[in-house]
Amino acid sequence: MPVIWILLIVLALAAVGYVLGRRRAYASAEGEIRKLHSLPAYYGYNAAMLTAVPAFFVIAIWLIAQPILIDARIGALIPDSAISESSTRGLVMSDVRRVAEGLDKLVAAGSLTDEETHNLHIETTDIRELLGSVGTALGSDVAPEVLSAAQDYRVLSGAASLGMTILAFVAAIGGLYYSLKQTNKDFRARNTVESMVLSLLVVASTIAILTTAGIVLSMLFETRNFFSQYNWADFYFGTTWSPSFSGRGGSSQLGLLPLLWGTLYISVIALLVAVPIGLYAAIYLSEYAGPKMRSAAKPLIEILAGIPTIVYGLFALITVGPMLRDYFAQPLGLGESASSVMTAGIVMGVMLIPFVSSLSDDIINAVPQSLRDGSLGLGATKSETIRQVVVPAALPGIVGAVLLAASRAIGETMIVVMGAGAAARLDLNPFEAMTTVTVKIVSQLTGDTDFSSPETLVAFALGLTLFVITLGLNIVALAIVRKYREQYE
Partner 1 sequence: MNNMLMSEKKLETTQTKISAKDVNVYYGDTHAIKDVNVEIPEKTVTAFIGPSGCGKSTFLRCINRMNDTIDVCRVTGDILLDAEDIYDKRVDPVQLRAKVGMVFQKPNPFPKSIYDNVAYGPRIHGLAKTKAEIDEIVEKSLRRGAIWDEVKDRLHAPGTGLSGGQQQRLCIARAVATEPEVLLMDEPCSALDPIATAQVEELIDDLRSRYSVVIVTHSMQQAARVSQKTAFFHLGNLVEFGDTSDIFTNPSDSRTESYITGRIG
The residue ranges that bind partner 1 (CB under 8 A) are 291, 368-381, 384, 388-389, 392-393, 487-489
* Residue number, 20 or 389, with CB nearest to partner 1: 389
φ/ψ of 197, rounded to 5, equals: -60, -40
Which of these, 400, 28, 395, 352, lies nearest to 185 by C-alpha position?
Answer: 28
* Residue number, 227 or 484, with CB nearest to partner 1: 484
* Residue number, 84 or 388, with CB nearest to partner 1: 388
Rounded to the nearest whole angstrom, what is the least distance from the CB of residue 474 to partner 1 in the complex?
A: 24
Whole-angstrom distance, CA of residue 35 vs CA of residue 26: 9
Other CB atoms within a 10 A radius of the CB of residue 31 amount to: 8
Rounded to the nearest whole angstrom, what is the least distance from the CB of residue 373 to partner 1 in the complex?
A: 6
Whole-angstrom distance, CA of residue 35 vs CA of residue 186: 8
Which of these, 259, 262, 265, 312, lies nearest to 440 by C-alpha position?
Answer: 259
Rounded to the nearest whole angstrom, what is the least distance from the CB of residue 483 to partner 1 in the complex?
A: 12
* Residue number, 40 or 392, with CB nearest to partner 1: 392
Rounded to the nearest whole angstrom, what is the least distance from the CB of residue 374 to partner 1 in the complex?
A: 4
Rounded to the nearest whole angstrom, what is the least distance from the CB of residue 404 to partner 1 in the complex?
A: 22
- 106 CB contacts (<8 Å, ≥6 apart)? 112, 117, 130, 131, 134
* Residue number, 123 or 486, with CB nearest to partner 1: 486
Query: In this structure, are residues 207 and 74 in contact, taking their beta carbons and an 8 Å threshold?
Result: no
Rounded to the nearest whole angstrom, what is the least distance from the CB of residue 428 to partner 1 in the complex?
A: 40
φ/ψ of 242, rounded to 5, equals: -145, 85
φ/ψ of 253, rounded to 5, equals: -115, 120
* Residue number, 191 or 381, with CB nearest to partner 1: 381
Rounded to the nearest whole angstrom, what is the least distance from the CB of residue 296 to partner 1 in the complex?
A: 17
User: CA 442 → CA 115, 283, 306, 447, 463, distances in Å?
Assistant: 52, 38, 23, 10, 10
* Residue number, 98 or 372, with CB nearest to partner 1: 372
Instruction: Read off the amino acid at residue 97.
Output: R
Query: In this structure, are residues 448 and 437 in contact, taking their beta carbons and an 8 Å threshold?
Result: no
* Residue number, 353 or 389, with CB nearest to partner 1: 389
Rounded to the nearest whole angstrom, what is the least distance from the CB of residue 396 to partner 1 in the complex?
A: 10
* Residue number, 313 or 396, with CB nearest to partner 1: 396
Residue count (the chain): 489
Whole-angstrom distance, CA of residue 436 vs CA of residue 269: 13
Query: In this structure, are residues 17 and 176 in contact, taking their beta carbons and an 8 Å threshold?
Result: yes
- 189 CB contacts (<8 Å, ≥6 apart)? 21, 25, 37, 38, 42, 43, 45, 46, 183
Rounded to the nearest whole angstrom, what is the least distance from the CB of residue 393 to partner 1 in the complex?
A: 5
Residue 2, helix vs strand vs coil: coil
* Residue number, 94 or 388, with CB nearest to partner 1: 388
Mutual angle of helices 189-229 and 454-488, in 10-degree steps: 130
For the chain, give percent helix, strand, coil, nearest 5: 75, 0, 20
The alpha carbon torsion through 375, 378, 383, 388 (nearest 10 deg) reads: -50
Rounded to the nearest whole angstrom, what is the least distance from the CB of residue 484 to partner 1 in the complex?
A: 8
* Residue number, 124 or 370, with CB nearest to partner 1: 370
Rounded to the nearest whole angstrom, what is the least distance from the CB of residue 327 to partner 1 in the complex?
A: 43
